[in-house]
Amino acid sequence: MSDEREHRLEAKVLTCSDGVVHGTREDKSGRALADFLAANGFDVVERRVTADGADNVALALSEMTNGFAGLIASTGGTGFAPRDQTPEGTRSVIEREAPGLAEAMRLCNPLGRLSRGVAGIRGNAIIVNAPGSTKGCVEQLEAVIDVLPHALRLLHDTDASH
């Protein structure tokens, strides 16, 4: 039983939204990402909300990655609005970029081209930014969900035959 637990995929979801923080919007995209991840074999071990802005996002991601080995999917703050600074906050904490993931996520539909989201690695965690739209965040994560388990095994240096 413990061996099965050691190989379970874990995920955390970060919602980046002033509206959700202030209680004027419901966290529909965070819930949608958590449900999607759970349906695809991930144990969602944390859901968190932070205000928009690069510093807020960077602080939340730093805390969430500390000692964590898994996937962190953020939703919100990837667009063109002045407070949409999730990619900037993410870039300030990642150690290595994973541009192929971000590129694949943007290709899922024409509106994906409006997402400035990034993907990268910090410690033993993979971070991916998805848009704040409930439909868009799930579509973008769906575009890479098939390769994420393999990517996590590679990152954790476990048996990941090439």
Residue 124: Cβ within 10 Å count: 14
pLDDT for residue 141: 98
What are the pLDDT tens digits along the chain (162 aa)?
A: 444 445 689 999 999 999 999 999 999 999 999 999 999 999 999 999 999 999 999 999 999 999 999 999 999 999 999 999 999 999 999 999 999 999 999 999 898 889 999 999 999 999 999 999 999 999 999 999 999 999 999 999 865 555
Model pLDDT, residue 1:
40
144 to 78, 80, 84, 95, 136: CA distances (angstroms): 17, 23, 23, 20, 13
Predicted local distance difference test score (pLDDT) of residue 162: 53
Sorted by where each starts, the structural domains of the chain and their CATH numbers stand as 2-151 (3.40.980.10)
pTM summary value: 0.93
Phi, psi of 49 (to 5 degrees): -125, 140
The predicted structure's pLDDT at residue 159: 56
